[in-house]
């Protein structure tokens, strides 16, 4: 197997990240630095990255109840990141389904690159469910606008149809099948409403565990992992 493919599969890095790690000289095969990304590994080869042994092992899958103030990224120079909330060793873990710094709720995290891609890929049609508190109540025109798709500023085609449901007064539920930048907030802004608070409750069929307080996490069940199809 090629070294870059092995490193990507075993560590959870994307293929481009794996190639960068190899070219930097940080990857060794049988204790010798190897900078060729297409280096062919023998079946008994020992691969290390930094000081850590890299082996396929068992993939890890978590759900996290993200609090406000954390960035959905592996690292950030200005803000704390969601991986700071995990007791697990973070190397190789990636965030699947990012949230804005001030948005709360369900975040999925794994070192299974194919699984993470299946969550975030627009082609997978993985539905995301949010609760939003608005600065005013919605009307029938807004319900219809969401149902038909909304042309957002700086976009050349409208969003996919979304479901907007009133829960109580200005508290609503939104179901979308995309992940455009600040999409929910931009959709409401296009309809003349401001989002005061936004909370994600569900990705696909995985629902945020109500027993998790903000900042807490747990491993996903086998059933939850299998609900995201990677084929």
Residue spans of the domains in the chain: they are 3-54, 61-122+206-226, 127-203
| Level-2 CATH architecture, domain 127-203 | 2-Layer Sandwich (3.30)
List CB contacts of 215: < 8 A, sequence separation 6 or more: 65, 67, 85
What is the spatial distance between Cα 23 and Cα 2, in angstroms, rounded to a whole number?
14
**Domain 61-122+206-226 indexed as CATH 3.30.70.580:** yes
Asked if the domains at 3-54 and 61-122+206-226 fall in one CATH topology, the answer is no
* CA 28 to each of CA 3, 4, 90: distance values in angstroms, whole numbers, following the listed order: 10, 12, 20
Tokens matching residue 66: 């993200």
What is the spatial distance between Cα 4 and Cα 117, in angstroms, rounded to a whole number?
17
What is the spatial distance between Cα 65 and Cα 79, in angstroms, rounded to a whole number?
17
Burial of 78: CB neighbours in 10 Å, binned 0-12, 13-18, 19+? exposed
Q: What are phi and psi of 75, to 5 degrees?
A: -155, 150
List CB contacts of 133: < 8 A, sequence separation 6 or more: 170, 171, 195, 196, 197, 198
Pairing of strands 195-203, 104-110: parallel
pTM attached to this predicted model: 0.75
Which residue's structure tokens are 């978590």? 62
**pLDDT confidence of residue 46:** 87
Along the 231 residues of the chain, how does pLDDT read in single tens digits? 889 888 877 776 777 888 999 999 999 999 899 999 999 988 778 888 887 777 766 688 999 999 999 998 877 778 899 999 988 666 678 899 789 999 999 999 998 888 988 898 877 778 999 999 999 999 999 999 999 999 998 889 999 999 999 999 999 999 999 888 899 999 999 999 999 999 999 999 999 999 999 999 999 999 999 999 876
3 state DSSP class of 83: helix
Q: Looking at the chain, list the stretches that DSSP marks H as alpha helix, in order from N- to C-terminal side.
A: 3-11, 15-23, 113-120, 140-148, 183-190, 222-226
Which positions are catalytic?
100
* CA 115 to each of CA 56, 59, 130, 213, 226: distance values in angstroms, whole numbers, following the listed order: 15, 10, 22, 25, 9
Q: CATH number of the domain at 3-54, please?
A: 3.10.290.10
Residue 81 β-bridge partners: 71
What is the spatial distance between Cα 134 and Cα 178, in angstroms, rounded to a whole number?
21
The answer to whether the beta carbons of residues 202 and 92 sit under 8 Å apart is: no
What is the spatial distance between Cα 200 and Cα 102, in angstroms, rounded to a whole number?
12
**pLDDT confidence of residue 163:** 97
Pairing of strands 47-49, 61-66: unpaired
The answer to whether the beta carbons of residues 74 and 111 sit under 8 Å apart is: no
């Amino acid at each position: 197997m090629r070294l870059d493919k092995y490193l990507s599969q075993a560590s959870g890095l994307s293929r481009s990240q794996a190639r960068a790690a190899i070219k930097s000289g940080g990857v060794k095969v049988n204790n010798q630095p190897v900078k060729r990304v297409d280096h062919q590994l023998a079946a008994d080869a020992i691969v290390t990255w930094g000081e850590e042994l890299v082996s396929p092992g068992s993939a890890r899958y978590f759900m996290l109840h993200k609090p406000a103030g954390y960035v959905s990224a592996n690292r950030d120079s200005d803000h704390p990141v969601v991986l700071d909330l995990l007791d697990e060793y973070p190397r190789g873990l990636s965030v699947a389904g990012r949230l804005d710094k001030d948005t709360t709720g369900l975040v999925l995290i794994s070192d299974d690159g194919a699984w993470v891609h299946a969550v975030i890929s627009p082609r997978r049609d993985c539905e995301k469910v949010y609760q939003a508190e608005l600065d005013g109540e919605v009307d029938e025109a807004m319900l219809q606008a969401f149902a038909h798709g909304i042309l957002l500023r700086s976009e050349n085609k409208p969003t996919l149809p979304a479901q907007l449901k009133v829960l109580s007064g200005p508290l609503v539920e939104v179901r979308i099948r995309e992940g455009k930048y600040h999409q929910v907030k931009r959709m409401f802004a296009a309809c003349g409403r401001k989002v005061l608070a936004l909370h994600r409750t569900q990705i696909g069929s995985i629902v945020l565990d109500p027993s998790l307080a903000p900042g807490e996490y747990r491993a996903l069940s086998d059933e939850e992992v299998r609900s995201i199809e990677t084929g």
